[in-house]
Amino acid sequence: MAIKAYIFIVTKPGTSIEVAREVSKIKGVESADPIYGRFDVIATVEAESPEALSKLVYEVIEKVPNILRTETSIVL
């Protein structure tokens, strides 16, 4: 069973549109949109397992330039 999660992303100032565009190209990312509020980008992702989700977030998404930090919320 696949795991769905929302990744809330904080970016360097002025880079949210660029970061959303780059994150949306990553395999496993269903959508990535710039938003207003505490976070700058929200991405909807799907992974095959908790381990795959962890790898996607820490080894792929967080390597995108201009990302300062992320917060992940797993869908129940």
On the question of pLDDT at 1 being above 90, the answer is no
Euclidean distance between CA atoms 61 and 52, whole angstroms: 12
pTM of the model: 0.94
pLDDT-derived band at 12, boundaries 50, 70, 90: very high
Task: Assign 3-state DSSP to the chain and report helix, strand, coil percentages, each to 5.
Answer: 30, 40, 30
Task: Specify the CATH architecture of the domain 3-74.
Answer: 2-Layer Sandwich (3.30)
Q: How far is Cα 49 from Cα 11, in angstroms, rounded to an integer?
A: 26
Express each pLDDT in 17-57 by its tens digit. Answer: 999 999 999 999 999 999 999 999 999 999 999 999 999 99
Q: Delimit the domains of the chain by residue range.
A: 3-74
